[in-house]
Structure 1
Amino acid sequence: MKHDHTPKPDDRSDNVEKLQEHIQNTIENIEAAEETLQSGDIAGRDRQAVEAKNHRREEAIEGMRKEIIDEAHDH
């Protein structure tokens, strides 16, 4: 079996749409985690882990929004 190791062309035409979808999914994950935290079903280290993960998610959203702006400037 022969493998073609030629890289695929860099298609960035739908980057903004993909980034927007990732942002929406991340926001939904934050909201779901917040609901879990509010329900009181989680405590201690697990609670801290969820809070830390949500913080990282918020940072990721900020990064994705900056990427969208960069993509808009490139077009």
Structure 2
Amino acid sequence: MKSLNDSLRDEFSEILQRDEYREVIEDKNLDVTLLKKAFDTLLKYKSDVDMVDKSKTEFENYLINYFKSQKNDN
């Protein structure tokens, strides 16, 4: 039996495969693995109502740090 997080990950993956999102991902040259890892940071705190803001902050920080490191590598 799948956990709620597994079901949410599957749903997120399905959304990323929709034409309108796939086009944006390709146009912006986004890394799908990165998007999925960032999504996992949202899932980490989803069950605690008091941690929703922390979850959002972790998500933003994950993406910001990734893009900063990509910029520094180039």
Answer yes or no: same fold by TM over 0.5.
no
Higher relative contact order (CA 8 A, sep 6+): 1
Q: TM-score, normalised by structure 1?
A: 0.41
Q: TM-score, normalised by structure 2?
A: 0.41
Q: Which has the larger radius of gyration?
A: 1
Larger helix share, 1 or 2: 2
